[in-house]
Amino acid sequence: MQKRKLGKNNLEVSALGLGCMGMSFSYGPPKDKQEMNSLLRTAVERGITFFDTAEVYGAFTNEELVGEALAPFREKVVIATKFGFKIDPATGKQAGLDSRPEHIKEVADASLKRLKTDVIDLFYQHRVDPNVPIEDVAGAVKDLIQQGKVKHFGLSEAGVQTIRRAHAVQSVTALQSEYSLWWRKPEAEVLPALEELGIGLVPYSPLGKGFLTGKMDENTKFGSTDFRSTLPRFTPEALKANQAVVDLLGKIAKQKGATPAQIALAWLLAQKPWIVPIPGTTKLSRLDENIGSVEIKLTSDDLREIDSAASKITVEGDRYPEHLQRMTGL
The whole-angstrom separation of Cα 319 and Cα 23 is 21
Do 117 and 85 touch, CB atoms closer than 8 A? no
Question: How many CB atoms lie under 10 A from the CB of residue 44?
Answer: 18
Tell which phi-psi region holds residue 169, choosing left (phi > 0), alpha (psi between -120 and 50) or beta: alpha
The whole-angstrom separation of Cα 237 and Cα 241 is 6
Do 104 and 140 touch, CB atoms closer than 8 A? yes
Do 268 and 9 touch, CB atoms closer than 8 A? no
Residue type, 197: L
- 140 CB-contact burial (10 Å; exposed 0-12 / middle 13-18 / buried 19+): buried
The catalytic residues are 57
* C-alpha distances out from residue 63 to 24, 60, 79, 189, 297, Å: 9, 6, 10, 32, 34
